[in-house]
């Protein structure tokens, strides 16, 4: 069973940087209370050194303010969640190959997964959005994933360590990794394969699709290539389906090593 996360000494602890601004209460006590409730939902105590101003910003959609919103924190949080996922995978599956790590992580940090995590902790009720944006159901997954990453960015910057992140994020990340390994057929193999090829070769795979004359419904055949080597073949009713099937064939070979 994986051991709970305990932070290792970081450059910040070995060579202290100037003191971070002390966490200050927000001017709006109602908003402050909301954010404290969210922090407690994450399993953190209400007195942890959270930068409340950053957390407030992390839950402010660009439709509310063009210049004071979550976009910069989302940029930081994108790296934070990828690092957290990498560490969880290394600790949980120390014998796995790098190719499997890359493929698993691409699914663990996808917008759909991060939106699931945001729903798990009820982020939507704390996210400030314009009324016109809130009724845009098509953009909901993207909004929640962006806000989730931004919150991770705010928590990381509060202490400049992973302490306020991994103490609660490890569990859902570990559960998602196990779910993907149990049932990989539900996953997006094109994204997974791309993550692996970029991590391993710094290149994107190429897909060649042709229409085939057959009596069945599998009208298209796709091949996926990398470095002049055919990695996989697949068929489907559409070009996209054929590419996904080819990516699945290639990805499963990658995981097997």
pLDDT tens-place string over residues 85-139 = 999 999 999 998 887 788 788 889 988 899 999 999 999 999 999 887 777 778 8
Instruction: Look at residues 33, 31, 87 and name the one whose alpha carbon lies nearest to residue 59.
Output: 31
Candidate ranges 42-51, 149-158, 193-202; pick with highest mean pLDDT: 149-158
DSSP symbols for 193-252? HHHHHHHHHS---EEEEEE---SSS--EEEEEEETTEEEEEEEESSHHHHHHHHHHHHHH
Q: Does the structure show a pLDDT above 90 at 13?
A: no
Q: How confident is the model at residue 193 (pLDDT cuts 50, 70, 90)?
A: confident
For the chain, what are the domain ranges? 11-183, 189-256
Is 78 labeled as catalytic in the residue annotation? yes
Active site residue: 100, 149, 170, 195, which one? Answer: 149
Is 111 labeled as catalytic in the residue annotation? no
- What's the pLDDT score for residue 27? 79
- What's the pLDDT score for residue 197? 85
Active site residue: 56, 74, 78, 170, which one? Answer: 78
Q: Does the structure show a pLDDT above 70 at 210?
A: yes
- The alpha-helical segments, DSSP class H, found in the chain are 11-14, 29-41, 52-58, 71-92, 98-108, 111-120, 131-134, 140-159, 163-182, 189-201, 239-256
User: Tokens standing for 203?
Assistant: 């290149």
Q: How confident is the model at residue 54 (pLDDT cuts 50, 70, 90)?
A: very high
Instruction: Look at residues 199, 257, 190, 198 and name the one whose alpha carbon lies nearest to residue 224.
Output: 190
CA angle 207, 197, 144 (to 5 degrees): 90
This prediction has a pTM of: 0.74
Selected from 3.20.20.390, 2.60.15.10, 1.10.1520.10, 1.20.1050.10, the CATH number assigned to the domain covering 11-183 reads: 1.10.1520.10
Q: How confident is the model at residue 232 (pLDDT cuts 50, 70, 90)?
A: very high
Instruction: Look at residues 4, 14, 50, 71 and name the one whose alpha carbon lies nearest to residue 164.
Output: 50
- What's the pLDDT score for residue 256? 66
Q: Does the structure show a pLDDT above 90 at 174?
A: yes
CB 118 within 8 A of CB 148: yes
Instruction: Look at residues 194, 248, 199 and name the one whose alpha carbon lies nearest to residue 222.
Output: 248
Instruction: Look at residues 53, 46, 43 and name the one whose alpha carbon lies nearest to residue 73.
Output: 53
Mean pLDDT of 206-231: 89
CATH fold for domain 189-256? Double Stranded RNA Binding Domain (3.30.160)
């Amino acid at each position: 069973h994986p051991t709970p996360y305990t932070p290792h000494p970081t450059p910040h602890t070995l060579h202290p940087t100037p003191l971070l601004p002390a966490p200050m209460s927000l001017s709006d006590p109602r908003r402050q209370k909301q954010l404290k409730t969210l922090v407690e939902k994450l399993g953190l105590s209400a007195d942890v050194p959270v930068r409340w101003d950053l957390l407030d910003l992390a839950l402010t959609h660009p439709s509310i303010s063009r210049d004071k919103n979550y976009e910069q924190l989302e940029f930081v949080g994108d790296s934070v969640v990828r690092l957290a996922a990498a560490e969880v995978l290394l600790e949980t599956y120390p014998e796995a190959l790098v190719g499997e790590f890359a493929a698993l992580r691409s699914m663990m940090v996808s917008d759909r997964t991060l939106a699931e995590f945001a729903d798990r902790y009820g982020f939507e009720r704390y996210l400030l959005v314009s009324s016109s944006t809130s009724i845009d159901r098509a953009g909901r997954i993207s909004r929640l994933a962006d806000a989730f990453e931004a919150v991770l960015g705010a928590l990381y910057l509060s202490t400049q360590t992973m302490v306020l992140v991994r103490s609660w994020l490890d569990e859902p990340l570990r559960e998602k990794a196990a779910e993907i390994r149990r049932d990989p057929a539900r996953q997006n193999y094109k994204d997974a394969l791309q993550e692996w090829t970029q991590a391993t070769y710094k290149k994107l795979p190429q897909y060649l699709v042709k229409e085939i004359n057959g009596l069945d419904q599998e009208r298209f055949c796709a091949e996926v290539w990398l470095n002049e080597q055919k990695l996989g073949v697949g068929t489907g009713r559409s070009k996209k389906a054929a590419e996904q099937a080819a990516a699945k064939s290639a990805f499963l070979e990658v995981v097997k090593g």
